[in-house]
Amino acid sequence: MGHDHNHSHGVTATGKHRKRLIAVLAITLGVVGIQVVGAVASGSLALLADAGHMLSDAAGVFIALMAAWIATRPASDQRTYGYQRAEVLAALANALILIVIAVVIMIEAIRRFGEPAEIQTDIMLWAAILGAVANLISLLILQGAQKESLNVRGAYLEVLGDLLGSIAVIVAAVVIMTTGFSAADPLASMLIALMIIPRAWHLLRDVVDVLLEATPKGVDVNMIREHIVAVDGVVDAHDIHIWTITSGVPVFSAHVVVEDEVLNASGADSILDQLGSCLGRHFDTEHCTFQLEPVSHSEHESHQHA
């Protein structure tokens, strides 16, 4: 006997914050254009690296928005969960883009050490300040939503990295203006690359956990089993599986062994309602599937596998 609670998929975590992402995308693209012009005019690799990172952020936000739209498409017999996993794939693309950008910046910075370039520090400084202000605004826009969605969190982390990158460019410009130490520019570029890599790695690790259907963070399977067994009439629980379809959509299934005498229509409904309520209340897992098994059937299976 099986039972499923809450079949509706609804709006995904990224979809709920689409307007925030659109606002951040518009701000980011505007600043990228200004920073590219500033980098070309000033000759600053650090500013160009910051612009490249922001461009990757814009691409990542665009992918997240497209994935959120795709994820709203209805489920079908061929794709029973619809396209919600598309959001996770978009987060994967974001992480890979960040890694590629970091490597390219690092290579160019090393090359620049051997071929120092003349830099117009005033243009470099003002373009970096503008980028920092824009990134701070974007961070405030995403702050309230970044804990709910991998994609929004990915965008938030990228913008945070951009803010730190802009600060590094500002510091480099000030150093060059006051000391003439031109190597500060490629050094700032390498610092930006080093800031990108750890954030990309953490995002990539979270995405891999979802794709490998790992137990969501903070969920204790043994504690869930204890709650299930505490329901009147339940003897045991096995084959417990908890995974995530996409951000904000955890899924749970389990085989629940119950006393033979409670497996009538009213008894089964009561147990299923209690189990579904327990999982939704204590573990924020509303999409639950339970297979009820009488003790006699469980014992029969045990003898078969012995």
60 vs 273, higher pLDDT: 273
Quickly state the pLDDT bin for 133 (edges 50, 70, 90). Answer: very high
**Tens of pLDDT, residues 207-240:** 888 888 887 887 888 888 888 888 888 888 888 8
36 vs 279, higher pLDDT: 36
174 has a pLDDT exceeding 90: yes
Q: Return the sign of the alpha-carbon dihedral for residues 168, 169, 170, 173.
A: positive
What is the average per-residue pLDDT within 158-181? 87
Q: Which pLDDT score is estimated for 265?
A: 61
Residue with structure tokens 């059937």? Answer: 297
55 vs 38, higher pLDDT: 38
Least confident segment among 3-7, 285-289, 293-297 = 3-7
248 has a pLDDT exceeding 80: no
253 has a pLDDT exceeding 90: no
Q: Average model confidence (pLDDT) for the chain?
A: 79
Q: Which pLDDT score is estimated for 126?
A: 92
Q: What is the CA radius of gyration of the chain?
A: 26
33 has a pLDDT exceeding 80: yes
| Distances, alpha carbon 173 to alpha carbons 112, 126, 176, 236, in Å | 16, 9, 5, 66
Q: Which pLDDT score is estimated for 170?
A: 93
N residues, the chain = 306
Quickly state the pLDDT bin for 306 (edges 50, 70, 90). Answer: very low
**In angstroms, how far is CA 58 from the centroid of its own chain?**
16
Q: Which pLDDT score is estimated for 303?
A: 46
Residue with structure tokens 């006393």? Answer: 259
Which of 5-9, 157-161, 172-176, 269-273 shows the highest mean pLDDT? Answer: 172-176
Q: Spell out the domains of the chain, with CATH numbers in brackets.
A: 16-212 (1.20.1510.10), 221-297 (3.30.70.1350)
* Residue 43 falls in which region: left (phi positive, over 0), alpha (psi -120 to 50) or beta: left
| Cα–Cα distance, 223 to 134 (Å, whole number) | 45
| Cα–Cα distance, 215 to 223 (Å, whole number) | 13
Could you tell me which residues come within 8 angstroms of residue 107 by beta carbon, excluding any fewer than 6 positions away?
Answer: none
Quickly state the pLDDT bin for 77 (edges 50, 70, 90). Answer: confident
**Helices vs strands, H then E, count in the chain:** 10, 4
Please name the amino acid found at residue 212. L
Tokens matching residue 172? 């480099």
- The percentage of residues in the chain with a pLDDT greater than 90, rounded to a whole number, is 8
What is the average per-residue pLDDT within 137-144? 83
Least confident segment among 86-100, 140-154, 170-184 = 140-154
Can you list the alpha helix ranges (DSSP code H) found in 212-294?
221-229, 265-283
Least confident segment among 28-32, 76-80, 190-194, 290-294 = 76-80
| Cα–Cα distance, 245 to 81 (Å, whole number) | 8
